[in-house]
A and B are shown apart, each in its own frame.
Chain A
């Protein structure tokens, strides 16, 4: 179980880092084994920053990320290496995730050098074959090829296989199918579904609401670094409460329903305000609207009480 508790990140930008840009503010959620959590937000909402913080690619400025009982931020050396045994990431552009002058075989053997130097050649090969089998690739057809000789979908599945070589428990999938064609992206998405049933916890970062809705159990909607609404996917999509979520869902192009001119239904009064009339406005405080479905203050970004 990976837990984020009021995690924040501030980027220092501008000349000499004089300006502070809060990218993620007080985000809390958990990823349990066998669960796909989709993290949905528009560009600049901080969704990739959250993925990078989980993968320890950047530091955090506030809050705590824990895997089981371990605080992720303080891991060093061998402990960090063990953390990466359990938490792995796959990113948007599969071609830039691979060294173009290495064959696939060699890309895999880099993992062996760090984690599996005690395995014999035969054991290693069967391990690779098993990981490739899990993503429906034939070892014989891909191992001796260079990345550019594979299609985007094949390469993306290959990278998932590389992450699976370890005893991965949590996979951070950052926009992994945005670059793929419609005909192949669904296969990679279904692959995530199969991995989930094998007990993997997956953080599926995307800007595409229909993909998030298709694959995930839990949805977190981000806006400007803050969680505006989160909960069980069917509840967030079936009964969107925050005006921002409603606007997003109404903007999604559907296949059998055209964009209507009708106004988005009135969300009613702010639930945070209704729950605690004197409560602080503009904080990351979430209020439960139904079991497993909570929403933030409707005017969370404006800093004024609603």
Chain B
């Protein structure tokens, strides 16, 4: 078991009170698993990724534990985390395009980064060259400044740099969102090949674009308002998602071939609740067409079949054909 997160709670401290961005999240990622994490903006998906790497000054861990490869990961301890960061757990940040130091040539920047981890650049250089070749970058990029690279090239560069020390877990945060469709495909497929080549053991891919996740992820987790709504294998999620939110989210995505004139899609009415004072009970119930009285109590995140967990009182009633809810 590569990563186990148990009841993790991470709040943002603000003047108005604690913003409960992660409020009891429990999941596991197996060796070699690519987990896609989807949800609306502000649901806490980026916070989940960031909190496993670096809790900044505004964030505090209020509860829960994280285990990486059987050992506890001290996410609340900035200094202790130094031993894990980059070596065992690495992140491709949301704005990877601007993650490269603009005043350094890329080769020099990588050298400095490795030095800070006590790794000799010269020793790792052959491996670096091999991996650049794998993502279709020439060696000459090492002699260039970031500004000389296109967005897609920078994105692939950051991917290579982030995974250079073969981390156990890689977090890729919205890395395809700013790219054109053709480079999106190249980057997404490169992620998958990194896993296949064992450069990274397992991966969390955070994005709001479910169709990209369908292409590359083994399992899919959907977050809503600081909690996990559902997690299952990607195909199971597409065929028989049980949470109404998951179904409505999937049903609202236009695909090539779906036309307004023939098949009108619908969105989800309403907006997610504020995480400053989140409502008790199921947080989706105000927007949920299936809400009943019981939904005022908080639904537990339980396994309904092997590898398929869902937090909904009415999960069993949603098993009907896909269109009944959406």
Contact = CB atoms under 8 A, between A and B. Distances in A.
Interface of A: 42-43, 151-152, 181-187, 189-190, 193, 207-211, 213-215, 233-234, 237, 247-249, 251-256, 258-259
B260 A190 contact: yes
Contact of B181 (A42, A152, A181): A42
B101 interface: no
B210 A259 contact: no
Given A181-B41, A209-B181, A255-B214, A249 B256 contact: yes
B209 A251 contact: no
Contact of A254 (B41, B189, B208, B211): B211
Contacts, number: 110
13 contacts: A152-B41, A182-B249, A183-B40, A183-B267, A186-B254, A186-B266, A214-B265, A215-B260, A234-B259, A251-B182, A254-B256, A256-B214, A259-B185
B185 A181 contact: no
Contacts of B41: 152, 181
Contact of B214 (A42, A152, A249, A258): A258
Interface in B232-264: 238, 248-250, 252-260, 264
B215 A258 contact: yes
Given A43-B180, A182-B210, A184-B267, A256 B238 contact: yes
Nearest to B214: A255
B215 A259 contact: yes
A201 to B, nearest CB: 16
B260 A253 contact: no
Contacts of B250: 255
Contacts of B238: 255-256
A186 B259 contact: no
Interface of B: 40-41, 151, 180-182, 184-185, 188-189, 208-212, 214-215, 238, 248-250, 252-260, 264-268, 271
Contacts of A152: 41
A190 B269 CA distance: 13
A60 B259 CA distance: 34
Given A193-B260, A213-B256, A253-B211, 10 more contacts: A151-B271, A181-B40, A182-B209, A183-B248, A234-B259, A237-B256, A249-B256, A252-B256, A255-B211, A256-B214
B260 A210 contact: no
A246 B131 CA distance: 29
- The 5 A-B pairs with the shortest beta carbon distances in the complex, nearest first, are A42-B180, A183-B268, A214-B254, A253-B211, A187-B267
B254 A211 contact: yes
B40 A251 contact: no
A109 to B, nearest CB: 26
Helix, strand, loop or mixed for chain B's interface?
Answer: loop
Given A213-B259, A253-B212, A255-B210, A183 B181 contact: no
Nearest to A207: B180
Contacts of B248: 183
Given A248-B182, A255-B238, A185 B267 contact: yes
A181 B188 CA distance: 21
A52 to B, nearest CB: 20
Contacts of A255: 210-211, 214, 238, 250, 253, 255
B267 A251 contact: no
A237 B257 CA distance: 8
A251 B252 contact: no
Contacts of A234: 259
Contacts of B254: 186, 189, 210-211, 213-214
A4 B211 CA distance: 35
A263 to B, nearest CB: 14
A209 to B, nearest CB: 6
Contacts of B208: 181-182
Nearest to A216: B260
A189 B259 CA distance: 11
Contacts of B189: 259
Contacts of B181: 42, 207-209, 248, 251-253
A251 B184 contact: yes
Nearest to B213: A253
Contacts of B268: 183-184
Nearest to A43: B180
B209 A186 contact: no
Given A183-B40, A258-B214, A214 B184 contact: no
A186 B252 contact: yes
Nearest to B151: A43
Contacts of B40: 181-183
A237 B262 CA distance: 15
Contact of A253 (B185, B249, B252, B258): B185
Given A183-B267, A259-B215, A210 B182 contact: no
A255 B249 CA distance: 12
Contacts of B211: 210, 253-255
A38 to B, nearest CB: 11
A277 to B, nearest CB: 31
A213 B212 contact: no
A210 B210 CA distance: 13
Nearest to A186: B267
